[in-house]
Chains A and B, each alone.
Chain A
């Protein structure tokens, strides 16, 4: 009964708001519905409406899936300082981080579902009624770690908000084990996702032990960068986090997160350099895909070449901005750096990691992939859904935390 009251209040909060709030929801919903419409189109005709073919059999959906697993895992970069090192000013941010993780995970699940040829058979993955190839197939592991992480990231903030709503003290005995569990679990989701790729002998460019560490480094840069932007938006449009409020998030906290971002970004750049050196200097079997990515073939740049160089430039510029204290501690330049590296990592980790492995094909065929329009709109639709879910989850969290539940 008490739980139902809480759910009812949450729904009420999520669905009521200012005109600006409704306009934003409507915009997200429109993008989502356009994507959903094209998804029905894809269901009807099959994945042939996408740009993917046997030669390049994973594309935009799996690239975005990979990136958002990273965004989800990055919440841990807020949780670790807040709960393991007791950096108290990080605590108001953890709520936003967990909501972001939950939203990103919902996006990941959508990306995997829309990539499936037969989504109606998804139950074949479940034990008892299906026939999961556990523990041999890494995809089974992915199902477990992703759904587990989603539950953790809905339970922790959910329980905290439930307690606040009913003016009770949240039990640390319940909360802390789950919080501690969320730390290794976050690492696991991105590790398993990397293992999907690096365990394949057929794709030399993926077949590197650096895949999981690289994924984690890029995740811990891109995720907290997004959180920096989100904090400022939340401070601007809600009482949460504003100076003088109970849940103040001062600029100092943002700068601390920026420190995390720059360390992760530098490690990630170092990993990229290390990978690129190994592959090009040894000039062995891995080279073909990397050469396609960075230089194209026979002097012709590939479709990805301009993007990967743009990504590299963006990441380096962002790293420079974040390394200089004056520009790191200036919100305008800091935001620029965050946006640059977010896009840079999205390119590098999405299309820059997933696509080159298919080009050339195992039999040496060069077939270039580019997403079709329906495919791009479906991808965008999932982004819209993610924004929609995050907005509503964040609004619920903020209003309950600040006591503005409209009872």
Chain B
């Protein structure tokens, strides 16, 4: 039996004990991003095709699933078809994960809501608790490892992303003379990923969230190439979870994905559309993350945009993100 190559993405370290004081000067320097990350031991996987029709985690044939041939694009399904589809999926998932609490919602966008996000880079300490919370909340694959949020460690004095390091691994954070810039899907108003998708498998919902129909994506990865924020992730192998999954699922959000399709941050669609904050907002120990309705003049996010020094990433790209960074 063959062992496929593991993803080279370095495992994210467990969150470190948090100190708001600078780390002692003796702490190790981060590994330079310029240490080339060449892959070790690649390519000599023992090779065998075990069976021509292997099964995926749902017991369906891995290569050609009959299910897909009878499925419509999500936006073309009637309410009854959605209900039927969700019911079938719930049955399968409950059995597979041995969890009767699993429910899949298809809650649509509310009128008068346009979600926006703001992140205080003056406060972020780079603890990566948001990353960990996101992985758990959104049922990201543990092996191969998929993370929707990437926290960049930046040297003070520069905003140059090419100088950032996402593999920092210190005893304590924040590192002296550094600041942190977490990046996830910026939920662009003018999303290049949606434009290039050849099958309309990814689109922008009325509340501004860019979603993916995991059963419609053909896995061409054009959207990954088109995203200026490295916010999209591909399932290079069959995803795995360490037993339990988050049972509160949304069809366009955190339901388990499968091999060969794209996924991305959805502003925790399963939470935000039910009136909750996203998992990353709740997990942030320093309150650097803010989330709210951009169309509501009284919302915290509108106040922040009006009163703080706000900027958006790569504004020159013309993507108009609804993800704002700010400094007090």
Contact = CB atoms under 8 A, between A and B. Distances in A.
Contact of A370 (B42, B192, B234): B42
For chain A, which range describes its interface: under 10, 10 to 19, 20 to 34, or 35 or more residues?
Answer: 35 or more
A180 interface: no
Q: Which of A121, A298, A365 has its CB near the most chain B CB atoms (within 10 A)?
A: A121
A373 interface: yes
Contact of A201 (B42, B232, B318): B318
Contact of A131 (B5, B36, B163, B216): B216
Interface in A34-56: 37-38, 40-41, 43-55
B224 A49 contact: no
A125 interface: yes
B136 interface: no
B37 A132 contact: no
A177 interface: no
B164 A363 contact: yes
A207 to B, nearest CB: 10
Nearest to B183: A363
Contacts of B64: 120
B235 interface: yes
B164 A48 contact: no
B259 interface: yes
Interface stretch (A137-145, A243-251, A308-316): A137-145
A298 B163 CA distance: 13
A202 B36 CA distance: 22
B238 A360 contact: no
A133 interface: yes
Contact of B50 (A44, A51, A117, A367): A44
A372 B4 CA distance: 11
Interface string A186-210: 0000000000100111110000000
A233 interface: no
Interface string B145-159: 000001010000000
Contacts of B112: none
A46 B257 CA distance: 13
Contacts of B21: none
Contact of B43 (A112, A132, A362, A373): A373
27 contacts: A43-B63, A44-B54, A45-B238, A47-B219, A48-B5, A48-B7, A50-B236, A53-B236, A57-B221, A57-B234, A58-B221, A117-B234, A118-B218, A118-B261, A121-B216, A131-B73, A132-B200, A136-B195, A137-B196, A137-B198, A196-B222, A200-B225, A363-B183, A365-B37, A366-B34, A368-B39, A372-B5
Interface of B: 2, 4-5, 7-9, 33-34, 36-39, 42-45, 47-52, 54, 62-65, 68, 73, 76, 144, 150, 152, 160-164, 166, 183, 192, 195-201, 216-222, 224-230, 232-238, 259-262, 314, 317-319
